[in-house]
């Protein structure tokens, strides 16, 4: 979700890998589609335009502000778009409410949108002072403040190492413990910077810590695993699942899921005869992930880490 999508520019800015997404989805005049992370509606508007005149779209997001903006942007498609506040891990429930037994395409544009990153009050950015929140939706049970100020050092270090892939996680966790209570993003960023020093590569030293806390607060990896399973089951034959990830943890999960779902046997290599009875349900369309072109990265630098993978639902045997 690396597009810059504030209310003023939502109708103008092109979201990440926009044309690639539209080319990957099987768009046709009577299709049914799900945008599981609708954001400001950039991809969704392209899907609706590409499935004119009768294509339908279910757009989900945990962020009520994003849904407000998406509603404004998608107003011209009234009657063809259904917006709901919720997680894409619940997409089967929302689809069922609409009477949809299967869909033709699903898009999951993961991670953090620039709209969220640029709003200091959400607490996602270390570049502007804001509360230690980091929740995608206001009803999430845990905030970053609670993790930072209440977790035992070992548990906090584990989050920073596991979700941020930060090798200095224990040093950072101990520094945070000494500095408690921390109230703002800039306070936390400064504590991390003092603990590990400035990076020679230009990356802010708190980048991985903030990523880890955000992932933990929103249970992003667990939601992704459930969403892939549910999305795969919801696709009709020939339907496609398109996933855009922005860091290695997400991409690794998507790659592994697609690989396993595309095999007829997932028994351990040492098993002489297949006993799993597993049947391939997906065909991998992108053996290697699609990355943004240089021109797109120049216009939108935050898209540089995006990776898009696509899989297609196989007919039921």
Please report which confidence band the pLDDT of residue 5 belongs to, taking 50, 70 and 90 as the band edges.
very low
Structure tokens at 220: 């992003």
Shortest CA distance to 312 belongs to which of 245, 235, 254? 235
Least confident of 129-143, 161-175, 264-278: 264-278
pLDDT for 121 equals 62
For the chain, domain boundaries: 18-115+220-313, 121-218
pLDDT for 169 equals 98
- CA-derived radius of gyration, the chain: 20
Please report which confidence band the pLDDT of residue 142 belongs to, taking 50, 70 and 90 as the band edges.
very high
Is residue 153 a contact partner of residue 173, using CB atoms and an 8 Å limit?
yes
Whether 16 shows a pLDDT value over 90: the answer reads yes
Structure tokens at 306: 């995006």
Looking at per-residue confidence, does 6 or 288 come out higher? 288
pLDDT for 27 equals 98
Whether 9 shows a pLDDT value over 70: the answer reads no
pLDDT for 113 equals 66
Same fold, 18-115+220-313 and 121-218: no
Element (H, E) at 261: helix 248-261
* CATH superfamily for domain 18-115+220-313: Vaccinia Virus protein VP39 (3.40.50.150)
- Longest Cα separation, the chain: 61
Structure tokens at 299: 């216009």
3.20.20.150, 1.10.150.170, 2.40.10.10, 1.20.1250.20: CATH of 121-218: 1.10.150.170
pLDDT for 267 equals 78
Report the chain's mean pLDDT, rounded to a whole number.
Answer: 91
Looking at per-residue confidence, does 186 or 275 come out higher? 186
Q: pTM of the prediction?
A: 0.90
């Amino acid at each position: 979700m690396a597009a810059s999508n504030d209310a003023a520019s939502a109708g103008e800015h092109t979201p990440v890998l926009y044309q690639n997404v539209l080319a990957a989805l099987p768009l046709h005049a009577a299709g049914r589609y799900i945008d599981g992370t609708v954001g400001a509606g950039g991809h969704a508007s392209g899907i609706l335009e590409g499935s004119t005149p009768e294509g339908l779209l279910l757009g989900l997001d945990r962020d009520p502000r994003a849904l407000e903006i998406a509603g404004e942007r998608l107003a011209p498609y009234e009657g063809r778009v259904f917006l709901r506040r919720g997680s894409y891990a619940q997409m089967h429930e929302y689809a069922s409410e609409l009477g949809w037994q299967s869909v033709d395409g699903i898009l999951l544009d993961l991670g953090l949108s620039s709209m969220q990153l640029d709003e200091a009050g959400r607490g996602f950015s270390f570049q502007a002072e804001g509360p230690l929140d980091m929740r995608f939706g206001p009803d999430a049970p845990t905030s970053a403040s609670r993790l930072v100020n209440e977790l035992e050092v070992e548990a906090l270090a584990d989050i920073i190492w596991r979700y941020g892939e930060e090798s200095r996680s224990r040093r950072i966790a101990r520094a945070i413990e000494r500095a408690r209570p921390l109230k703002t993003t800039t306070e936390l960023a400064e504590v991390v910077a003092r603990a590990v020093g400035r990076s020679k590569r230009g990356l802010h030293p708190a980048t991985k810590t903030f990523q880890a806390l955000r992932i933990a607060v929103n249970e992003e990896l667990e939601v992704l695993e459930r969403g892939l399973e549910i999305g795969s089951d919801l696709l009709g034959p020939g339907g496609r699942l398109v996933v855009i990830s922005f860091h290695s943890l997400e991409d690794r999960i998507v790659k592994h899921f697609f690989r396993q779902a595309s095999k007829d046997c997932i028994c351990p290599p040492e098993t002489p005869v297949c006993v799993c009875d597993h049947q391939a349900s997906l065909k991998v369309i992108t053996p290697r992930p699609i990355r943004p072109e240089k021109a797109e990265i120049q216009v939108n630098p935050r898209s540089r880490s995006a990776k898009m993978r696509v899989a297609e639902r196989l007919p039921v045997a």
